[in-house]
Amino acid sequence: MIQDKKALADAAEMLKAIAHPVRLCIVRRLWREGPCNVTHMQECMDMPQSTISQQLGKLRQAGIIEGDRQGLEVRYALKDDRVRKILEILFVKHTDTHSE
Protein backbone atom coordinates (compact mmCIF):
# COMPACT_ATOMS: atom_id res chain seq x y z
CA MET A 1 0.00 0.00 0.00
CA ILE A 2 2.90 2.38 0.72
CA GLN A 3 4.23 1.89 -2.84
CA ASP A 4 0.78 2.72 -4.18
CA LYS A 5 0.72 5.95 -2.14
CA LYS A 6 4.14 6.90 -3.53
CA ALA A 7 3.03 6.18 -7.11
CA LEU A 8 -0.10 8.28 -6.58
CA ALA A 9 1.90 11.13 -5.05
CA ASP A 10 4.41 11.03 -7.93
CA ALA A 11 1.61 11.09 -10.51
CA ALA A 12 -0.11 13.99 -8.72
CA GLU A 13 3.16 15.99 -8.69
CA MET A 14 3.67 15.41 -12.41
CA LEU A 15 0.12 16.51 -13.16
CA LYS A 16 0.52 19.61 -10.97
CA ALA A 17 3.71 20.50 -12.81
CA ILE A 18 1.98 20.58 -16.21
CA ALA A 19 -1.32 21.98 -14.92
CA HIS A 20 -0.39 25.60 -15.64
CA PRO A 21 -1.21 27.27 -18.97
CA VAL A 22 2.36 28.40 -19.69
CA ARG A 23 3.95 25.09 -18.69
CA LEU A 24 1.34 23.16 -20.66
CA CYS A 25 2.08 25.37 -23.66
CA ILE A 26 5.82 24.68 -23.27
CA VAL A 27 5.48 20.90 -23.05
CA ARG A 28 2.98 20.82 -25.91
CA ARG A 29 5.38 22.79 -28.08
CA LEU A 30 8.30 20.50 -27.20
CA TRP A 31 6.10 17.48 -27.92
CA ARG A 32 4.97 18.81 -31.29
CA GLU A 33 8.17 20.41 -32.57
CA GLY A 34 10.99 18.79 -30.64
CA PRO A 35 13.89 20.31 -28.69
CA CYS A 36 14.49 24.06 -28.75
CA ASN A 37 16.03 26.88 -26.75
CA VAL A 38 14.43 29.56 -24.58
CA THR A 39 14.76 32.28 -27.22
CA HIS A 40 12.86 30.21 -29.80
CA MET A 41 10.12 29.43 -27.26
CA GLN A 42 9.86 33.08 -26.33
CA GLU A 43 9.35 34.10 -29.96
CA CYS A 44 6.74 31.39 -30.56
CA MET A 45 4.83 32.03 -27.35
CA ASP A 46 5.11 35.84 -27.29
CA MET A 47 6.10 35.86 -23.61
CA PRO A 48 9.07 37.40 -21.80
CA GLN A 49 12.15 35.20 -21.63
CA SER A 50 12.12 35.45 -17.84
CA THR A 51 8.63 33.89 -17.74
CA ILE A 52 9.66 31.03 -20.03
CA SER A 53 12.86 30.44 -18.04
CA GLN A 54 10.98 30.37 -14.74
CA GLN A 55 8.48 27.83 -16.03
CA LEU A 56 11.23 25.73 -17.66
CA GLY A 57 12.93 25.57 -14.26
CA LYS A 58 9.78 24.19 -12.66
CA LEU A 59 9.36 21.59 -15.41
CA ARG A 60 13.01 20.60 -15.15
CA GLN A 61 12.80 20.29 -11.37
CA ALA A 62 9.76 18.01 -11.79
CA GLY A 63 11.76 15.79 -14.17
CA ILE A 64 9.43 16.47 -17.10
CA ILE A 65 12.02 18.11 -19.34
CA GLU A 66 15.78 18.04 -19.63
CA GLY A 67 18.26 20.56 -20.95
CA ASP A 68 21.18 19.81 -23.21
CA ARG A 69 23.87 22.48 -23.34
CA GLN A 70 25.16 23.12 -26.84
CA GLY A 71 27.76 25.86 -26.70
CA LEU A 72 26.16 28.93 -25.16
CA GLU A 73 22.57 27.72 -25.46
CA VAL A 74 20.52 25.07 -23.72
CA ARG A 75 18.08 23.07 -25.82
CA TYR A 76 15.16 21.66 -23.88
CA ALA A 77 13.33 18.42 -24.65
CA LEU A 78 10.64 16.27 -23.07
CA LYS A 79 12.03 13.64 -20.75
CA ASP A 80 8.94 11.98 -19.24
CA ASP A 81 7.08 9.57 -21.52
CA ARG A 82 3.96 9.85 -19.36
CA VAL A 83 3.69 13.49 -20.39
CA ARG A 84 3.87 12.52 -24.07
CA LYS A 85 0.96 10.14 -23.55
CA ILE A 86 -1.07 12.77 -21.69
CA LEU A 87 -0.44 15.33 -24.44
CA GLU A 88 -1.51 12.83 -27.06
CA ILE A 89 -4.77 12.27 -25.20
CA LEU A 90 -5.35 16.00 -24.73
CA PHE A 91 -4.35 17.29 -28.15
CA VAL A 92 -4.72 14.55 -30.75
CA LYS A 93 -8.12 14.56 -32.35
CA HIS A 94 -9.47 11.03 -32.39
CA THR A 95 -12.09 10.04 -34.91
CA ASP A 96 -15.27 8.77 -33.40
CA THR A 97 -16.39 5.52 -34.99
CA HIS A 98 -19.84 5.69 -33.45
CA SER A 99 -22.57 7.64 -35.16
CA GLU A 100 -25.22 9.34 -33.14
Q: Which domain holds residue 55?
A: 2-91
Residue 81 lies in a domain: yes
CB atoms within 10 A of CB 18: 21
51-87: pLDDT as tens digits: 999 999 999 999 999 999 989 999 999 999 999 999 9
* Residue 96 covered by a domain: no
Measure the CA–CA gap between 75 and 41, rounded to whole angstroms. Answer: 10
In a domain, 100, yes or no: no
Domains in the chain, number: 1
In a domain, 19, yes or no: yes
Provide the pLDDT for residue 1. 65
Give the SS3 label for residue 38. helix
Residues 6-50 have pLDDT tens digits of 999 999 999 999 999 999 999 999 999 999 999 888 887 888 999
pLDDT band at 3 (very low <50, low <70, confident <90, very high): confident
* CATH assignment of the domain containing 18: 1.10.10.10
**Residue 77 located in a structural domain:** yes
